[in-house]
Amino acid sequence: MPEINGMLRTVEGHRVGEEIMQRWRNRIHHGLRWFAILIAVAWTLFPFAYAFVLSLKPSALEYRTLVIPFVQFRPTIAHWRWEWWQRHEINGLGDGIRNSVVVGVTTAVMSTSVGLLTAFGLRQMRATTRWAGGFIAFTLLPRIVPAVALVTPIYFLSVQTHLHDTLIALMLLHGSLALPLAVVVLDSALREFPKDLIEAAKIDGATNLRVLWQIVTPLMRPMLIAVSTLSFALSWNDYIFAQTNHVQRAFTMPLSVSFLEERDGVQFEHVGSHLVLILLVPLLLGLVAQRSVVRGLSLGAVRSDR
């Protein structure tokens, strides 16, 4: 009996030891996970925090490593006053952000609408022909050709059509550049769309446009929001084509930022407030559309064998 009791105590001790080791492993894994999350959050938020601090720092201290307002320096709103006074100038962001928002929203609506019509047409085309894949490859050409190679022909085309230095030219150009992305993403999602719904609607006498508007569009709303968000981002960040199109009137946010560089150097005292205003619009857009973007881009990711 003493030997049996000793063996039971030994087994119980090993079990308790394993439980303690497992708890320590779980704690270490949990701590490492939170450490990685904190590093990612700090890496992401650092540009926002630095830009905000820079927008409040006096011009005399802009080259000093002072990052804690009210503790290391006294904040000022002089840069924000300058932003308000210069909002209608080329180096201010008032008109630049307004033009970028107008062009970006129009680009998103145009590319998503035309992309949805094209993807739906390709879905119908696959039932009768094998040229759908070749058409998609042809659609991708604007994204394959380097942007620098398109600058000169686009410039001459806009001049010949009397659209140079207009926002309409940027809307058409950005829409054509965002269209391949919309076609590819929406086509991938429509391949996974239930065939029974479309066939049942057509049996009831619905036309293709009615099927697209009343059945496909509501069910693919997250995907449409995702494509619109990505198209807006493409237009928002464009510089090379906006610079080519600009003469006096049609300037966007990237051009307003570039005009902070003058003959005497970069106006670093206004970089912070510019960065905050530039990041504010896509940040708000991302917060509003984040759930739809994640859900939309995940559609069609897992292919079924139906």
Question: Measured between alpha carbons, how far is residue 110 from residues 60, 169, 247, 281 in Å?
Answer: 47, 13, 25, 20
Q: Are 280 and 111 in contact (CB under 8 A)?
A: no
| pLDDT higher than threshold 60 for residue 296 | no
For residue 304, what pLDDT is reported?
A: 41
For residue 10, what pLDDT is reported?
A: 63
pTM of the model: 0.76
For residue 1, what pLDDT is reported?
A: 55
Query: In the numeric block, which tokens belong to residue 35?
Result: 């450490």
Element (H, E) at 261: strand 261-262
DSSP string of 133-195, one letter each residue = HHHHHHHTHHHHS-HHHHHHHHHHHHHHTT-TTSHHHHHHHHHHHHHHHHHHHHHHHHHTS-H
pLDDT band at 171; cut points 50, 70, 90: very high
For residue 303, what pLDDT is reported?
A: 44
What span, in angstroms and rounded, lies between the C-alpha atoms of 192 and 169?
Answer: 35
Kindly report, residue by residue over 7-39, the tens digit of the pLDDT: 556 656 566 667 778 888 888 888 899 999 999
What span, in angstroms and rounded, lies between the C-alpha atoms of 92 and 222?
Answer: 35
| pLDDT higher than threshold 90 for residue 168 | yes
Kindly report, residue by residue over 180-220, the tens digit of the pLDDT: 888 888 888 888 777 778 788 878 787 878 888 888 888 88
pLDDT band at 232; cut points 50, 70, 90: very high
For residue 114, what pLDDT is reported?
A: 92
| pLDDT higher than threshold 60 for residue 301 | no
Q: What's the average model confidence in pLDDT over 39-53?
A: 86
Max intra-chain CA distance, the chain = 104
Kindly report, residue by residue over 235-279, the tens digit of the pLDDT: 998 888 998 888 878 888 888 888 777 656 667 777 788 888 888
Element (H, E) at 105: helix 94-125
pLDDT band at 173; cut points 50, 70, 90: very high
Element (H, E) at 47: helix 2-56
Kindly report, residue by residue over 75-125, the tens digit of the pLDDT: 888 888 888 888 887 777 888 888 999 999 999 999 999 999 988 888 877
